[in-house]
Structure 1
Amino acid sequence: MSKHYIQTNESRLEVVPERGGIITSWRVQNQEVLYLDEERFANPQLSVRGGIPILFPICGNLPDNTYTLNGKQYTLKQHGFARDLPWEVTNQVTQDKDSLTITLSSNEQTRAVYPFDFQLAFTYQIDGNTLEIKQQYTNLSTEPMPFSTGFHPYFLTVDKTQLKFEIPSQEYQDQMTKETHSFNGDFDFNRDEIDVAFKQLSSQSATVTDHARKLKLTLEYDDTYSTLVFWTVKGKDYYCLEPWSAPRNAINTGEHLTVLKPQASHTATVRLTANFF
């Protein structure tokens, strides 16, 4: 598997295009920001746990992994197929702002589960201690194309009780119970698994301060993104704070679903800044 690197004085990004275009490592001031389960990553049969997987054309899972479109039923696995398919490197720039552009185009395999022709082009760019992901989604079909999109970053942590969250929402929905709870900035890390969605976002930025690692992470996202998902598993050295354009099952419910007209494009941006203090 070929790795591509983008490097500046302050940070270094490692991307593996053929494993879903994934960012596998992001080092800032020689410190790793992301978690990666190397063993799972080495096995192409397993989904990757770590790095920054790409979610498209759905985020989360569907009831029975199925959705219905124009009276026809299709099967889509959790988070869609973009994270499992090889992406192609189409451009690499190494001047002032180092960047790498990768693309994914529809093929027979994708059309069987998602009946559209599309092209995705993502540009990973680093500038100092900021990583920017610019995305372009193009509908090459003759029909309107519904989708949601997102990222699933795994952030490395050594002591979750030392994490301080500033999430621009006062409530979240628990994925397990479907109940809505008010949010005061804290999670109960004694639980085996936390899987919650913040849907009512009041701003386009969230921060997590990890006092154990002396790291302040800022996640910024444009108005494409309606939802932030927080997920972690007890005993694992990661937490995930995921920007999603729509909540799970949006392709069935229509909630915050993006629908692209034929031959139209949609652009979106997500930005991560890592400050070690």
Structure 2
Amino acid sequence: MENQWLKVSTKAEGAELTSILLKKDNTEYLWQGDPKIWGRHAPILFPIVGRLKENRCTIDGKEYHMTQHGFARDMTFDILEESEEHILYQLTSNEDTLKHYPYRFQLRVEYILKEKSIIIKYSVKNIDDQKIYFSIGAHPGFNCPLLEGESMEDYVLEFEKEEVLDKMCLDNGLILEEKQPFLNHEKTISLTKDLFINDALIVENTASKSITLKSTKSNKSVCVTFDEFRYLGIWSKPEGAPFVCIEPWLGIADYKDKTVDFKDKAGILSLDPEEESQCSYIISIE
């Protein structure tokens, strides 16, 4: 997709966003998926967000296995529509998905280019004859730093509003019951490698509807608007890596010390037969 400001690329594998290039100065904003560090760009998380305990869950008394963040990111989507500033992908349940997840669904992912923004829309439709349960989330990684001569420590994450937030803590990808204080009437998070030493930062029900990754040395920034999402994850490699992921989620990983049926997972969504759920977020180059 392309307009006078941006050139944006996606691929059918995982319906994944793969490039956000600012044409004015040729700056690439999206992480380019170096497999030696992290081989993805902006995977779609479906039908789970995060990790299941022992990579398995129980649905209607039967055990199913799914790896972290679900299978959609590793499947090839069909292209339903395509134009200069728009593309629509679709993934439909099949024999392979039913082995891991016993529900019939239709997942659509749509990218719309509008000035210096990309609108990303998710749609999940229940095409089963029973209620289905799912989570969905985004995982875009942004280059940090964006310019040569800068480092991650030259960047901050800035919420739209001052926040009073606790963060969820992870142990081997599973959520611990006890939360830790994180922000106290603050809106800015300074970026350091140590910030991610214990995995992703996860917060819930923020007052802000957007967060901006911005350089303190240049005018470079990228904003993610996530007003339809309950949870927000922020992640980079704990050993340090030149990217930061800003992740709007509807759903979270399993709790380490709780074992519940899939239908009772924290943040789980449900749809009746023929019902459809939609959500969207926006990436804006500022």
The answer, yes or no, to whether TM exceeds 0.5 is: yes
Query: What is the rounded CA distance, in whole Å, between the counterparts of 1:38 and 1:188 in structure 2?
Result: 21
Moved more, 169-178 or 125-134: 169-178
Query: What is the rounded CA distance, in whole Å, between the counterparts of 1:40 and 1:86 in structure 2?
Result: 23
CA offsets, 1:37-75, max 9 Å, x none?
34469xxxxxx6332111000011111011111111111
Query: What is the rounded CA distance, in whole Å, between the counterparts of 2:252 and 2:271 in structure 1?
Result: 18
DSSP-derived class of the 2:192 partner: coil
1:84-233 equivalent positions in 2, closer than 5 A = 84-94=74-84, 98-158=85-145, 159-167=151-159, 169=163, 170-176=165-171, 178=176, 179-183=179-183, 184=186, 185-186=188-189, 189-191=192-194, 193=197, 194-212=199-217, 214-223=219-228, 225-233=229-237
TM-score (norm 2): 0.84
Query: How many angstroms does 1:93 deviate by?
Result: 2.2
Provide the residue aligned with 1:44 in structure 2: none
Query: What is the rounded CA distance, in whole Å, between the counterparts of 2:224 and 2:234 in structure 1?
Result: 13
Is residue 271 from structure 1 mapped to residue 271 from structure 2 by the alignment? no
Is residue 21 from structure 1 mapped to residue 8 from structure 2 by the alignment? no
The answer on whether the counterparts of 2:133 and 2:263 sit within 8 Å (CA) in structure 1 is no
Query: What is the rounded CA distance, in whole Å, between the counterparts of 2:55 and 2:73 in structure 1?
Result: 16
Equivalent AA in structure 2 for residue 273 of structure 1? S
The answer on whether the counterparts of 2:232 and 2:247 sit within 8 Å (CA) in structure 1 is yes
Q: 1:76 to 1:130 in 2, by over 3 A?
A: same
Provide the residue aligned with 1:59 in structure 2: 49
Query: What is the rounded CA distance, in whole Å, between the counterparts of 2:71 and 2:105 in structure 1?
Result: 13
TM-score (norm 1): 0.86
Query: What is the rounded CA distance, in whole Å, between the counterparts of 2:204 and 2:267 in structure 1?
Result: 10
Consecutive unaligned residues in structure 1, runs of 5 or more: 1-5, 42-47
Query: What is the rounded CA distance, in whole Å, between the counterparts of 1:130 and 1:157 in structure 2?
Result: 19
Query: What is the rounded CA distance, in whole Å, between the counterparts of 2:181 and 2:168 in structure 1?
Result: 6
Q: 1:188 to 1:36 in 2, by over 3 A?
A: closer
CA offsets, 1:106-143, max 9 Å, x none?
01110001001111111101111100011211010011
CA offsets, 1:8-64, max 9 Å, x none?
1110111110x21111111123211111234469xxxxxx63321110000111110
The percentage of counterpart residues that share the same residue type is 23
